[in-house]
Amino acid sequence: MPNFLLPSSDHPFCNQRLRIIASLALLVLCISQCQSQFRPPEVAISEADTVGYNFLQQEEHTVENASYLEPLFKKMYLQRVQGGQKINIVQIGDSHILGNYMSREVRERLQRAFGDAGRGLIFPYKLAGSNGPRDYLVETNARWSGANCQRDLSPVSTYGISGFRLETTNPKGELTFRMRDTATSETHLFTKVTIFQHRTPQQFDVEVRDDVSNQKAQIYVEDEYARSYYFDRPVGQVTIAAKRTDSKQKLLTLDGVELENELSGVMFHSIGVNGAKFQDFVRAEYFARQVAKLQPDLIILSMGTNEAQGHTEPGFMYRTIRDLTDELLKHSPHALIMLTTPADSYLRGKGFNPYMPDMSGVIRKFAREKGYAMWDLFNYTGGANSAINWKSSGLMSSDSVHYSKAGYAAQGKLLYQSLVKGYNEYVLAKEP
């Protein structure tokens, strides 16, 4: 049970926060009223949201069983016409998701249409020996060791929300996250920081601060898996500093960091691990519990490429998809599930992958049998051996397994289109 650390009503911090919340509420109300008066409930798909490759057949891209997503579309509709809704979407995947190129396209477009509630989940991937998103920078004064759930083959691994873990024994270790372009983009500013970690007596305490504005964040809520801190004023960077307060404390671990601005709108969190399969997140003991802290409305599962590269037995893959969705829904019972099939790619970069149709078929079969939503990127982009079209169009990288920035951007635009099409159909059925 979360421990809410609420000061008394006469506490200066409480009074200050109440003033801030009241001001934000007034601002959101004004924005919402303007939106309801001048903005139609449906969302137009602009030319910038489309892609110019004929083989992608973007007019056919839809979410299968979109009616299952009506609770999500209802929140999006309410946000569009009156505001006040926080919409949390979590995309979980492999290296295709880790780089953030695809997810960023979806995030930015949804936030322009429905409001920007913050950057969402981030992690210092470079310190853990991995690539990652480039819309924020990470600095440190300490030596860190990192690992991820894909490399750990134990039956049960102690990984959390990002699929990665970072650790330092330096009692003065610090991490600073700095958003890019904060001088010109208010959307990159935030007021709330949530630190994900599995708390033990051996963990250092932490101080959360912004050295630019000379603010120290105040802890507001904490439990075994996460701690949330609030700044009095929006900031564009945050430093997380170890603080030894007990001789038993030996280290600081980090599973992930969430950045919010406390306004209504969309939070689109992307979680990716190089080489990841469904089974890797199943084995991560704290993964689903920490994902639940994001209060997801929709969880998008985007894997299958690595199962196809390794020729995973279809029955085993089916069971791991089932185990992962069951575990996620156990801790987030109100979340909706959408599965996506992967776009085609070469087998180990050398040519046609005969296993890709089978792996995509397993995802398709599971989603249909369970009644979940499904986005069939594999078939929408041409099906078996369609990677040749991606390659010849400059949409794949040199390894012929991953895609170029333009390729991932195209996939992101297609996913956005499909979600908006489903939403607009909901609006048309609802509006007189």
Render pLDDT for 316-342 as a digit per residue (tens, 0 to 9): 999 999 999 999 999 999 999 999 999
Quote the pLDDT of residue 349.
83
Q: Name the residue among 380, 373, 311 with its Cα closest to residue 344.
A: 380
The domain ranges of the chain are: 50-117+264-432, 119-262
Task: Calculate the average pLDDT of the chain.
Answer: 89
pLDDT at 274 over 60: yes
Give dist(CA 358, CA 314) in Å, integer. 7
Give dist(CA 114, CA 43) in Å, integer. 9
Banded model confidence at residue 153, pLDDT cuts 50, 70, 90: confident
Quote the pLDDT of residue 262.
85
Quote the pLDDT of residue 16.
55
Identify any residues that bridge with 373 across adjacent strands, giving them in sequence order.
338
Q: Name the residue among 316, 380, 389 with its Cα closest to residue 346.
A: 389
Sequence-distant (≥ 6) Cβ neighbours of residue 390 within 8 angstroms: 343, 344, 345, 381, 396, 403, 407
Q: Is 40 helix (H, G, I), strand (E, B) or coil?
A: coil
State the average pLDDT over residues 145-154: 90
Quote the pLDDT of residue 250.
95
pLDDT, one tens digit per residue, over 67-77 is: 999 999 999 99
pLDDT at 30 over 80: no
Q: Which two tokens stand for residue 209?
A: 């601060």
Banded model confidence at residue 51, pLDDT cuts 50, 70, 90: confident
- Strands of 218-222's sheet in order across: 3-4, 218-222, 226-235, 190-196, 256-260, 120-122
Lowest-pLDDT range of 29-43, 203-217, 241-255, 356-370? 29-43
Quote the pLDDT of residue 15.
47
Give dist(CA 76, CA 384) in Å, integer. 35
Quote the pLDDT of residue 12.
46
Lowest-pLDDT range of 3-12, 37-46, 246-255, 301-310? 3-12
CA 345 to chain centroid: 24
Report yes or no: 397 and 346 within 8 Å, Cβ to Cβ: no
Sequence-distant (≥ 6) Cβ neighbours of residue 68 within 8 angstroms: 336, 371, 372, 373
Query: What is the percent of the chain where pLDDT is above 70?
Result: 89
Lowest-pLDDT range of 23-32, 192-201, 306-315? 23-32
| Main-chain phi, psi angles of 31, to 5 degrees | -60, -45
Superfamily of domain 50-117+264-432: SGNH hydrolase (3.40.50.1110)
Give dist(CA 422, CA 81) in Å, integer. 17
DSSP 381: T
Give dist(CA 352, CA 345) in Å, integer. 8
Q: Is 227 helix (H, G, I), strand (E, B) or coil?
A: strand
Give dist(CA 160, CA 300) in Å, integer. 17
Query: Looking at the whole model, is its pTM more than 0.85?
Result: yes
Residue at token pair 């929140």: 75
Quote the pLDDT of residue 1.
42
Give dist(CA 276, CA 99) in Å, integer. 13
Lowest-pLDDT range of 13-17, 206-210, 216-220, 366-370? 13-17
Alpha helices in 6-98 (DSSP H): 12-38, 70-81, 95-98
Higher pLDDT: 381 or 292? It is 292
pLDDT at 184 over 90: no
Largest CA distance in the chain: 69
**How far, CA to CA in Å, does 287 sit from each of 126, 226, 325, 340?**
20, 12, 12, 20
Banded model confidence at residue 255, pLDDT cuts 50, 70, 90: very high
- Strands of 205-210's sheet in order across: 136-140, 174-179, 237-243, 205-210, 215-216
Banded model confidence at residue 14, pLDDT cuts 50, 70, 90: very low
Q: Name the residue among 83, 86, 87, 85 with its Cα closest to residue 33.
A: 83
Taking residue 427's Cβ as centre, other Cβ atoms within 10 Å add up to 18
Identify any residues that bridge with 93 across adjacent strands, giving them in sequence order.
272, 302
Give dist(CA 377, CA 398) in Å, integer. 21
Banded model confidence at residue 417, pLDDT cuts 50, 70, 90: very high
Quote the pLDDT of residue 8.
40
pLDDT at 415 over 90: yes
Q: Which two tokens stand for residue 169?
A: 């024994």
Identify any residues that bridge with 89 across adjacent strands, giving them in sequence order.
268, 298
Give dist(CA 281, CA 149) in Å, integer. 7
CATH of 119-262, one of 2.102.10.10, 2.60.120.1360, 2.60.120.10, 3.30.70.260: 2.60.120.1360
Give dist(CA 164, CA 271) in Å, integer. 10
Please count the CA atoms within 13 angstroms of the CA of 132 that sit on its side-chain side.
21
